[in-house]
Amino acid sequence: FFQYCLSGHPTLPCNVLKFKSTTIMLDCGLDMTSTLNFLPLPLVQSPRLSKLPSWVLKDGSTFLDKELKECSGHVFVDSVPEFCLPETELLDLSTVDVILISNYHCMMALPYITEYTGFTGTVYATEPTVQIGRLLMEELVNSIERVPKAQSASMWKNKEVQRLLPAPLKDAVEVSMWRKCYTMPEVNSALSKIQLVGYSQKIELFGAVQVTPLSSGYALGSSNWIIQSHYEKVSYVSGSSLLTTHPQPMDQASLKNSDVLILTGLTQIPTANPDGMVGEFCSNLAMTVRNGGNVLVPCYPSGVIYDLLECLYQYIDSAGLSNVPFYFISPVANSSLEFSQIFAEWLCHNKQTKVYLPEPPFPHAELIQTNKLKHYPSIHGDFSNDFKQPCVVFTGHPSLRFGDVVHFMELWGKSSLNTVIFTEPDFSYLDALAPYQPLAMKCVYCPIDTRLNFIQVSKLLKEVQPLHVVCPEQYTQPPPTQSHRTDLMIDCQPPAMSYRRAEVLTLPYKRRYEKIEITPDLADSLVPLEIKPGISLATVSAVLHTKDNKHVLQLPPKPPQPPASKKRKRVSDDVPECKSLKPLLSGSIPVDQFVQTLEKHGFSDVKVEDTAKGHIVLLQEAETLIQLEEDSTHIICDNDEPLRVKLRDLVLKFLQKF
């Protein structure tokens, strides 16, 4: 049992598990932090960005001047942004049988895997995961494709050149593996390989392994996975939350009795309390708007935004913001808002109850109806007519490198009245802002990450008691910036096994049993014998049928009756066909009783001699000798088959068959 670790990002995991005879990929997260090294893609020509100076090497060489630009002391690649893919060389990905997706954020690398590696298997995910994952991909593709950039920089990736670059470019890993965004046809093809599953659905893989998604409480349709056979159980915990937000609560009980628990996707901001952050978000938003400024919220089109809208729904009237327009701009804004209302079964209890009334589960339906929230596919078109300031804009992408957010950063960055509020935890806000510096606009950092923190993890582990814990190496030590915080790491016994990118881990357990079925007629034919109090045994000679990794034992077929007509047989016809297996024997033979039995069966000339280890029984007339010892019997005789068989059967009477 092996685990191949293809991603080094703890919240965007990609692992491959070899379990029994199956190869299972757990998530395929796409590390998008690589895009922070690129210049933003402006929707409208940006004089500021196009005037940025080229970066020149220390020795004055200018061959990189087309590829690298400098902004406020940081160097950026002037090119279509690229993403850091999961490792594709560690194992042959065409051998992957299935991919299990835990939530929509962890499937963004799917097209790279399914379309470029010869993958022919099946992907399993819940319906909300697929639908919202599709929206995220659509938004990503759309925001990159609508700004065609002629330039694709590659010279800087040369190992010799990269060495000479300033940080963080110098330290960027696997730059040769960075890839441009996929296309919509690739997304569609990848998504067509997904099979929809529901929580607690048991899915059989090749009869050998059963996988089951469980509610993880983090996002609509988000799941943890149980991978088990009859004798071993691996729990894959990825992106779970114990907070009560909109999704169905986390199913913890089903994680119990795991041999191995793989733990990924913990909170990226272990020191921030999500509730407090939401409060700060609201108050900063209100303050800015009251002062006549605009608020920009860089966000994903699904997830936390639903919770933020719900908070604002309760907050705006009391804060006197009823007349401030809220805009949600994304090519998938409408779809995301609509989809959120149709997944009743995947929502928390309160929201489910609303659907039974029947009312839309999320109050943003009402915000839209009352015109307080408006959504647009992009800044072009209707939006430019309706646009009123001061306002609040929710738009992507949180990296600030592409999407409509770039436009608002350029538009509002110069005024200190405006505020940008970062709520998504995936990108460092300082890095995200770097290509916009110097900036007059206020920046507020309210990361909302509802995933498990270390206190919740240690409680969870105590509760479900796995034999072994496996996690990314980042979780086994305090965060690099807070090395004294030993509470910000996983603490369990035995210590967690950690992994890093491109590593192969051997999972610690050994199974000793397998399930097999005995047919009723075979069971009827068995003769159990009580060998010790409470323990019975029966010897089983049966035919093993194996199909789809399922084993069944059946009665062996009766030997065919010899043909009635006695034709001349060739010698070789008699050769025993297959070695019919004889049981093992156990027990010992008391010499006196044995002799008595012999005499009862007509042997009159029995003579017994003692030896060092036992006895020798002699049948003088038959020239036969039987050595009896504690654990062995040896019959030495002439080639008189009836005699030998008779003696054999008499000996067997004293022995126990196994």
- Determine the Cα–Cα distance for residues 267 and 475; give it in Å rounded to an integer: 11
Check binding of 591 to other proteins (CB under 8 A).
Answer: no
Q: Rule CB under 8 A: is residue 163 a binding residue for other proteins? A: no
For other proteins, the binding residues in 96-135 under the rule CB under 8 A are 127
User: Judged by CB under 8 A, does residue 319 bind other proteins?
Assistant: no
E strand or H helix that includes residue 99: strand 98-100
Beta strands in 127-249 (DSSP E): 194-197, 203-205, 209-215, 223-228, 233-238
Pairing verdict, β 68-71 and 74-77: antiparallel
> Minimum CB separation from other proteins for residue 341, in Å?
7
Please state the closest distance from residue 610 (CB atom) to other proteins, in A: 20
Q: Interacting stretch for other proteins, rule CB under 8 A, among 150-158, 192-200, 267-275, 309-317?
A: 192-200
> Which of 467/552 has CB closer to other proteins?
552
Query: In the range 359-388, which residues lie near other proteins by CB under 8 A?
Result: 360-361
**Cβ atoms of 81 and 401 closer than 8 Å:** yes
Minimum CB distance to other proteins, residue 162 (Å) = 44
| Tokens standing for residue 624 | 């036969």
Q: Contact region for other proteins (CB under 8 A) — 159-167, 384-392, 501-509, 527-535?
A: 527-535
Q: Which of residues 226-255 bind other proteins (CB under 8 A)?
A: 230
Stretch that binds other proteins, among 70-78, 116-124, 157-165, 576-584 (CB under 8 A): 576-584
The partner residues of 374 in beta bridges, in order of sequence, read 327
In the complex, the smallest distance separating the C-beta of residue 336 from other proteins, rounded to whole angstroms, is: 9
Contact 213, 338 (CB under 8 A): no
State how far the Cα of 139 lies from the Cα of 331, in Å rounded to an integer: 6
Beta-strand runs (E) in 48-93: 68-71, 74-77
Neighbour-count burial of 289, counting CB atoms closer than 10 A to its CB (0-12 exposed, 13-18 middle, 19+ buried): buried
Distance CA 625, CA 648 (A): 13
- Residue 102 vs 336, nearer CB to other proteins: 336
Q: Which of 150, 167, 578, 612 binds other proteins (CB under 8 A)?
A: 578
Does residue 651 interact with other proteins by CB under 8 A? yes
Of residues 58, 148, 318, 356, which one binds other proteins by CB under 8 A? Answer: 356
Question: Which residues have C-beta within 8 Å of that of residue 655, sequence separation ≥ 6?
Answer: 585, 586, 587, 589
Shortest distance, position 26 Cβ to other proteins, whole Å: 21
User: Per rule CB under 8 A, is residue 511 in the interface with other proteins?
Assistant: yes
Question: How many residues belong to the site for other proteins (CB under 8 A)?
Answer: 92
AA identity, residue 620:
Q
155 is a site residue for other proteins (CB under 8 A):
no
Report the nearest approach of other proteins to the CB of residue 616 (Å).
13
Closest CB to other proteins among residues 149, 354: 354
Minimum CB separation of residue 335 from other proteins in Å reads: 5
Verify binding: residue 355, other proteins, rule CB under 8 A: yes
**Shortest gap between Cβ of 338 and other proteins (angstroms)?**
5
User: Which of 199, 225, 327, 475 forms a contact with other proteins (CB under 8 A)?
Assistant: 199
Smallest distance, Å, CB 365 to other proteins? 10
Contact 604, 597 (CB under 8 A): no
- Partners of residue 327 on adjacent β-strands: 374, 393
Site for other proteins in 321-340 (CB under 8 A): 334-335, 338-339
Query: Is residue 518 within the footprint of other proteins (CB under 8 A)?
Result: yes
d(CA 27, CA 236): 10
Residues 612-641, interacting with other proteins (CB under 8 A)? 630-639, 641
526 part of the interface to other proteins, by CB under 8 A: yes
Residue 352 binds other proteins, judged by CB under 8 A: yes
For 264, phi and psi rounded to 5 degrees? -135, 175
Nearest to 216, CA basis, from 34, 542, 450, 528: 450
Q: To which residue do tokens 């009245």 refer?
A: 417
What is the distance between the alpha carbons of residues 468 and 263, in angstroms, rounded to a whole number?
Answer: 10
- Quick one: CA dihedral 66, 184, 196, 219, positive or negative? positive
